[in-house]
């Protein structure tokens, strides 16, 4: 028999699916040392890198710049981060941690699993677009996506595993605890990749579609399918006219016959 992800209700495993649990995991990733001089030095390096990456971008910021701003030697930076790409990944994690409170509605176990999943997708994309590293002028050249090629594989795997584990728990509930873990992990990976792609390449947002409408549409398509029917509220909004761009029907007009 195929291994199931688990039959327990999510309310029976709050230590695995909670805002506090996710926050603790990110904190452990960002600050692996106990409080002390090493931890404070790491914090200075991370804060300096964040300010420089936001102000000047990844390509125009050097490790020398980060070391100077943090008041440490260049070699000290490499004691904490293997290269500039890994430093950028930690800065991204830092900014996500700062915005994590925005995702708290997705952890409300009183909501149905499908509603939590829609909420998570919608808010994750919105927060992604609002991160200072994404919003900074000149970020349209996809610096963050390009730097992944230079990043430490172990760091990328750690970040990915964290995301996959929480999505597996959520997808397990959404699918009624009926699918093997391997299938849930595959779906979770695709979902992680889709959210990343939308955050880094959501051209419709830049073409005038409101971010909230865009993210709600993405979440609905992923959770409910492309052919999902509109809700009454959506029908009323559609009848009142679009909020972005001209709407053109793809259906040919019927010709009257004599």
Angle at 127 between CA 93 and CA 170, to 5 degrees: 80
pLDDT band at 197 (very low <50, low <70, confident <90, very high): confident
Which residues is 4 bridged to in the sheet? 180
**Would residue 8 count as lying in a domain?**
no
**Would residue 7 count as lying in a domain?**
no
**Would residue 174 count as lying in a domain?**
yes
**Would residue 240 count as lying in a domain?**
no
Q: Which of 69-78, 135-144, 200-209, 228-237 has the lowest mean pLDDT?
A: 228-237
Q: Is the pLDDT of residue 223 over 80?
A: yes
Note the pLDDT of residue 12: 41
Q: Is the pLDDT of residue 104 over 50?
A: yes
Note the pLDDT of residue 133: 84
**Would residue 194 count as lying in a domain?**
yes
**Would residue 250 count as lying in a domain?**
no
Note the pLDDT of residue 33: 93
Mean pLDDT across the stretch 81-109? Answer: 93
pLDDT band at 209 (very low <50, low <70, confident <90, very high): confident
Q: Which domain holds residue 89?
A: 15-227
**Would residue 97 count as lying in a domain?**
yes
Mean pLDDT across the stretch 60-80? Answer: 97
Query: Do 46 and 38 form a contact (C-beta atoms < 8 A)?
Result: no
pTM tops 0.95, yes or no: no
**Would residue 58 count as lying in a domain?**
yes
C-alpha atoms less than 13 angstroms from C-alpha of 243 in its C-beta half-sphere: 12
pLDDT, tens digit, for every residue of 137-187?
A: 666 545 666 677 888 889 999 999 999 999 999 999 999 999 999 999 999
CATH of the domain at 61: 1.10.357.10
Write the DSSP symbol of residue 60: T
Residue 249 corresponds to which tokens in the numbers above? Answer: 């029907």
* Pairwise pLDDT comparison (30 vs 249), residue with the higher score: 30
- The count of structural domains within the chain is 1
């Amino acid at each position: 028999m195929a291994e199931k992800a688990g039959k327990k209700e999510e309310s029976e495993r709050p230590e695995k699916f909670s805002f506090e649990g996710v926050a603790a995991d990110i904190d452990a990733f960002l600050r692996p040392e106990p409080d002390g001089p090493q931890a404070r030095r790491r914090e200075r390096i991370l804060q300096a890198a964040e300010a420089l990456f936001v102000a000047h971008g990844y390509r125009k910021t050097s490790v020398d710049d980060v070391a100077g701003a943090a008041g440490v030697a260049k070699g000290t930076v490499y004691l904490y981060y293997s290269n500039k790409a890994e430093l950028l990944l930690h800065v991204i994690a830092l900014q996500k941690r700062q915005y994590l409170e925005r995702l708290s509605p997705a952890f409300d176990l009183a909501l149905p699993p499908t509603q939590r999943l829609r909420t998570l997708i919608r808010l994750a994309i919105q927060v992604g677009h609002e991160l200072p590293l994404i919003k900074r002028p000149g970020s349209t050249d996809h610096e963050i996506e390009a730097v992944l090629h230079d990043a430490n594989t172990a760091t990328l795997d750690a970040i990915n595993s964290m995301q996959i584990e929480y999505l597996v728990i959520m997808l397990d509930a959404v699918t009624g605890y009926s699918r093997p873990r391997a299938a849930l992990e595959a779906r979770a990976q695709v979902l992680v990749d889709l959210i990343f792609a939308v955050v880094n390449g959501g051209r419709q947002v830049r073409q005038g579609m409101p971010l909230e409408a865009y993210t709600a549409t993405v979440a609905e398509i992923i959770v409910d399918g492309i052919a999902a029917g509109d809700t009454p509220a959506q029908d009323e909004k559609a009848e009142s006219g679009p909020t972005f761009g001209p709407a053109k029907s793809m259906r040919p007009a019927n010709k009257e016959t004599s």
